[in-house]
Amino acid sequence: MTCSIGAITHDDNNVVVDAEKCNYCMECIPVCPTGSIDEWRVVNTAYTLEDQFGFEELPEQQDIDTGSSDEGGMDAAIAAMLDEAHSGAGGKARAPVSAAKPETNLYTAAKPVVATIQGSYRLTGEDSDSDVRHIILNFEGQPFPVLEGQNIGIIPPGSDDEGKPHLPRLYSVSSPRDGERPNYHNVSLTVKREAGGVCSNYLCDLKMGDKVNVTGPFGTTFLIPDDPEARLLMICTGTGSAPMRAFTMRRQRTVGAKSGGMTMFFGARTPDSLPYFGPLSKVPESLLKQHLVYSRVDGQPKEYVQDRMMQEEDEVAEILADPNTHIYICGLRGMEDGVERAFTNIAESIGQQWAALRDAMRDEGRYHVETY
């Protein structure tokens, strides 16, 4: 019923998708009552409808890679990078119970997918000392199923000091699963130019039409719940806003202001250096309550996200006490301690022990940290 182009059919056993017709809009996934469409395989040749109707079980993912001997090592390196980024959760992170099932490792360093730069826009003011860009990648019909909160790898050209090809660098996607605009299936990144950074300078210098080697997608836990009642508390600094933008757009497109609600604490040096400052001002408070916090505004005291959380203690406490709340923290590693301290104080004010609450939330897939 959801599929406007009639790509989905079923018999008594199987719900199947006609790959000839499907445009990868993914609209069928959140509404599929059985979850059966929330499964796909990347193949060289699509399964026919007859094949699919015949399935008693899903076939294994075929190996579509060329098979580099280094690939296992590469996958392990990416997994280790992500584990490190998620370590601030204080234990093994889990996906939200209602999150869609993510695809991972479809493209590897040995067999990356080539994307084309569709746009690159500076997000921060020309006078700001921080050059953050919104970069849009177009996969031009090649499958790249990615969920909000996942990461992709970018392989900078050239080689490292030892003459080996560069390892992919991980970036969090800042677009929702169906693309910058619904059904465009492009993917955006939020990239800060770092002094001497091999990949950030490469990406920030790319022009429209340039090609880029992409791996991934990666990440199975830092995902948005599909449950519209879930309440999101998002805490971020700088480019840590990337997944929060994706979450907000996803919510805006699917459930709108009727959702469980979203609250964001977002820290930057100045308004001019806060990525997405302009677009954020147009997001209604009924969808996203925003606390924008600045550390380097002339004549104002330095303020960090954790300071504002403490100032808004009652609001945060009420959110913490809600069993529908999911917490997402993304940005500078340095923020972890301060945010933990704020949560400890706020939890105490409602008679809770933060460490216990955090561990329970994490085990229930409701506490997510990605820092670097």
Catalytic site residues? 171-172, 330, 370, 372
Residue 204 to residues 144, 240, 288, 349: CA-CA distances in angstroms?
Answer: 22, 17, 29, 45
Least gap, CB of 166 to ligand A2P (angstroms): 23
C-alpha atoms less than 13 angstroms from C-alpha of 26 in its C-beta half-sphere: 28
Nearer to ligand A2P, 21 or 296 (CB): 296
Tell me the residue nearest to ligand A2P as measured from the CB. 238
Least Cβ distance, residue 43 to ligand A2P (angstroms): 41
Q: Which two tokens stand for residue 30?
A: 């959140």
| Residue reference for tokens 């001019």 | 272
Given the complex with ligand A2P, which of 78 and 244 has the nearer CB atom?
Answer: 244
Query: Burial code of 95-112, b = ≥16 C-beta within 10 A, e = fewer?
Result: bbebbbebbbbbbbbeeb
Task: Give contact residues for ligand A2P (rule: CB under 6 A).
Answer: 130, 237-238, 267-269, 273, 295-296, 304-305, 332, 334-335, 338
Residue 267 or 365 having the CB closest to ligand A2P: 267
Least distance CB 193 / ligand A2P (angstroms): 11
* Residue corresponding to tokens 């959110």: 319
Q: How far is the CB of 85 from ligand A2P (least distance, A)?
A: 15
Q: Are strands 132-138 and 113-122 parallel, antiparallel or unpaired?
A: antiparallel
Query: Is there a contact between 125 and 252 (Cβ–Cβ < 8 Å)?
Result: no
What torsion do the CA atoms of 63, 65, 66, 67 make, to the nearest 10 degrees? -70
For ligand A2P, the closer of residues 129 and 140 by Cβ is: 129
CA 33 to the chain's CA centroid: 24
What is the separation of C-alpha 340 from the centre of its chain, rounded to a whole number of angstroms? 22
Cα dist from 308 to 302, 317, 350, whole Å: 11, 13, 18
User: Please, which residue, 74 or 268, has the CB nearer to ligand A2P?
Assistant: 268
State in angstroms the smallest separation of the CB of 301 from ligand A2P: 12
